[in-house]
A = this chain, B = another copy of it.
Amino acid sequence: MLTEKFYEVLKHEGVVSIVSWGAEEAHVTCTWNSYLVVTGDERILIPAAGMRSTENDVNQNNKVKVTLGAREVMGNNNYQGTGFEIGGTAKFLTTGSEFDMMKENYPFLNRVLEISITSAKQLL
């Protein structure tokens, strides 16, 4: 579901926003493009240190929306810049081989936010 353009965005640094919503107001937490690890089967792994509001929401409703982009990557119709909105379901991992791999690369994490992608839309 992820295009070459998506992976091109990941090569540039930028702010990633992760939106969640439980019973009440929506929450948003942020990370960096360079912190996203895409698995062979297209799940996104993100190091999590805080993200407590996200986790509370996910316990009620595991849907999330993730936005990211890069001005450096050409969008549609020769527009300078592109971005993506990824829809998915989220889970927090605290053990396992993927947790260990992520911990090695991002020692500051205490959980891994795993997002299973359900949609990927290029915005520009």
Please list the residues of chain A having a beta carbon within 8 angstroms of any beta carbon in chain B: 13-15, 17, 19-21, 25-28, 30, 32, 63, 65, 67-71, 81, 83, 85, 123
* Those 5 A-B pairs whose CB atoms lie nearest each other, nearest first: A26-B26, A17-B17, A21-B26, A15-B69, A13-B71
**Cβ-defined contact, B67 with A123, below 8 A:** no
How far does the Cβ of A2 sit from chain B's closest Cβ, in whole Å? 17
* A41 to B26 Cα, complex, angstroms: 26
Chain A interface, DSSP helix/strand/loop, else mixed: strand
Q: Which of A20, A63, A85 has the most CB of B within 10 A?
A: A85
Contacts A13-B71, A71-B13 given; indicate if A19 touches B26 (C-beta within 8 A): yes
Among the listed B25, B26, B28, B71, which residue makes an inter-chain contact with A14, where contact means beta carbons less than 8 Å apart? B71
Contacts A26-B21, A30-B69, A123-B30 given; indicate if A15 touches B63 (C-beta within 8 A): no
How far does the Cβ of A106 sit from chain B's closest Cβ, in whole Å? 14
Instruction: Collect the chain B residues with CB atoms within 8 Å of residue A63's CB.
Output: 25
